[in-house]
């Protein structure tokens, strides 16, 4: 992985143990390196090793062995800087090996034997960064900072020494304005560290236990996968609303339907075929059971997927939208299995108008999810008045809407034609 630098590094340095995302060859030495990651993903270790490297002039984090003598350490609080960044089990002192830096709490600074110094700051006091100047900085858990924008801006004014002032940011991502701005900045190098990638350094069974509890959830994707999960301002659904809809145990169901939103064509570049199954329980609640959406090259492929789900769940019927394919939709499903009942529906209003009453049912706790459906939930939370971002087709949302409206016709006001074909 680091053959270019291997001969220059002393035996036993971190490069021989690190994973590639933690120790990349950052060609061009970017001014800002943003590392987002899950809990236990190795973010703190990366930040600590980076600081030790720039303080000692170790490649590949420095150029030509040039060390950085003045460094800023910025955390959410002063306690966080000391307990996590400096003295934590993966902190700077623990990873310094043969050149342990001395911490001087009264002066709030860390001193290496070669004269390099790291000064301590917190997001609680942005003004403390007014005046000092640095060659490098490590910002930890930036997404949690109390005065994030002010603190980060003050730090940028202070990064003005040396040939190439640089900073590394390690954080579990949250959809803050500053985080979104940094990720969108083409000058910022972004690396993501998932918790599972560091499994060998975590307690036995931790990954399995944490995935069983949080896998596929918004919290899990943020805290374990290091994903930036955000809501759309004009979205019909929010992450919190979807999270609240999670149901741990499937109740007895009175009806089950499989809804299909066929693509407009069979071209490889066409939209996916939305396939969502829902059931109706004894309390009159709709339970989302499965998302089997497929990108099908041929109509018979999505028809087979829908029919297979129908049989797997022992559903009552398949509900299929026929705006795009007309009679062909029913014919394709019948060709896959002539015994499957098919109800055809035709949309007479826009997607937003059709989806709005379904979103209201979520708000009332009338629609629940019997599992984690990450792709469907992403689409729901990205569905605004002008559709999905980037102009994509909301195939999964469309199928969901048809399934819910079929099971709750009294709560769904759009007039539509329904026929039953055997």
Ranges 48-62, 165-179, 362-376, 381-395, most confident: 362-376
pLDDT-derived band at 375 (thresholds 50, 70, 90) equals confident
The pLDDT of residue 31 is 86
For 129-146, what is the mean pLDDT?
93
Which of 29-43, 90-104, 167-181 is predicted least confidently? 29-43
Query: With pLDDT > 70 as the criterion, what percentage of the chain qualifies?
Result: 75
pLDDT-derived band at 266 (thresholds 50, 70, 90) equals low
Q: Yes or no: say if 99 and 113 are a contact pair by the CB < 8 Å rule.
A: yes
Q: Yes or no: say if 250 and 285 are a contact pair by the CB < 8 Å rule.
A: no
pLDDT-derived band at 90 (thresholds 50, 70, 90) equals confident
Q: Yes or no: say if 292 and 349 are a contact pair by the CB < 8 Å rule.
A: no
For 395-401, what is the mean pLDDT?
95
Which residue, chain included where needed, has tokens 């999905």? 388
Q: In what order do the strands lie in the sheet with 274-281?
A: 367-369, 286-291, 274-281, 253-261, 317-321, 342-345, 419-421
Tokens (6 digits) for 27: 């060609």
The mean of the pLDDT values for the chain is 81
The pLDDT of residue 3 is 34
Which of 247, 411, 241, 417 has its CA nearest to residue 326? Answer: 417
Higher per-residue confidence, 25 vs 87: 87
Strand ranges in 123-225 using DSSP code E only, listed in sequence order: 136-140, 166-171, 188-193
Which of 175, 177, 173, 146 has its CA nearest to residue 239? Answer: 175
Q: Strand 274-281 relative to strand 253-261: parallel, antiparallel, unpaired?
A: antiparallel
Ranges 5-9, 43-47, 300-304, most confident: 300-304
- At 296 the three-state DSSP class reads coil
Q: Flag whether pLDDT at 103 surpasses 70.
A: yes
């Amino acid at each position: 992985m680091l053959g270019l630098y291997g001969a220059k590094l002393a035996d036993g340095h971190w490069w021989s143990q690190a994973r590639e995302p933690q120790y990349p060859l950052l060609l061009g030495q970017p001014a800002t390196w943003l590392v987002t990651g899950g809990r236990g993903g190795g973010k703190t270790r990366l930040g600590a090793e980076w600081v030790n490297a720039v303080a000692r002039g170790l490649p590949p984090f420095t150029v030509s062995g040039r060390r950085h003598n003045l460094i800023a350490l910025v955390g959410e609080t002063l306690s966080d800087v000391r307990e996590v960044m400096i003295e934590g089990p993966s902190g700077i002192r623990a990873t310094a090996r043969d050149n342990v830096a001395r911490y001087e709490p009264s002066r709030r600074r860390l001193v290496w034997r070669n004269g390099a110094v790291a000064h301590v700051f917190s997001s609680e006091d942005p003004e403390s960064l007014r005046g000092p100047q640095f060659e490098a900085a490590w910002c930890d858990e930036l997404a949690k900072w109390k005065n994030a924008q002010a603190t980060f801006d003050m730090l940028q004014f202070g990064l003005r020494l040396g040939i190439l002032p640089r900073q590394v940011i390690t954080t579990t991502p949250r959809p803050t304005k500053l985080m979104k701005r940094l990720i969108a900045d083409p000058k910022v190098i972004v690396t993501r560290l998932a918790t599972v990638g560091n499994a060998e350094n975590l307690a036995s069974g931790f990954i399995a236990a944490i995935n069983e509890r949080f896998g596929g959830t918004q919290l899990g994707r943020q805290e374990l996968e290091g994903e930036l999960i955000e809501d759309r301002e004009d979205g019909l659904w929010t992450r919190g609303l979807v999270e609240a809809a999670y149901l741990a145990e499937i109740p007895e169901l009175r009806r089950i339907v499989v809804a299909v939103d066929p693509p407009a064509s069979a071209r490889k570049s066409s939209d996916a075929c939305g396939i969502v199954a829902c059931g109706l329980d004894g309390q009159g609640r709709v339970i989302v059971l499965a998302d089997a959406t497929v990108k099908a090259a041929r109509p018979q492929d999505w028809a087979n997927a829908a029919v297979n789900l129908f049989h797997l769940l022992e559903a009552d019927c398949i509900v299929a939208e026929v705006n795009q394919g007309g009679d062909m939709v029913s014919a394709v499903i019948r060709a896959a299995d002539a015994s499957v009942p098919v109800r055809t529906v035709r949309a007479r209003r826009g997607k937003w108008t059709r989806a709005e009453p379904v979103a209201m049912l979520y708000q009332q706790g009338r629609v629940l999810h019997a599992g984690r459906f990450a792709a469907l939930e992403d689409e729901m939370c990205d569905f605004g008045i002008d559709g999905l971002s980037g102009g994509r087709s909301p195939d999964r949302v469309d199928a969901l809407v048809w399934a819910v409206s079929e099971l709750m016709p009294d709560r769904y006001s759009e007039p539509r034609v329904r026929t039953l074909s055997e």
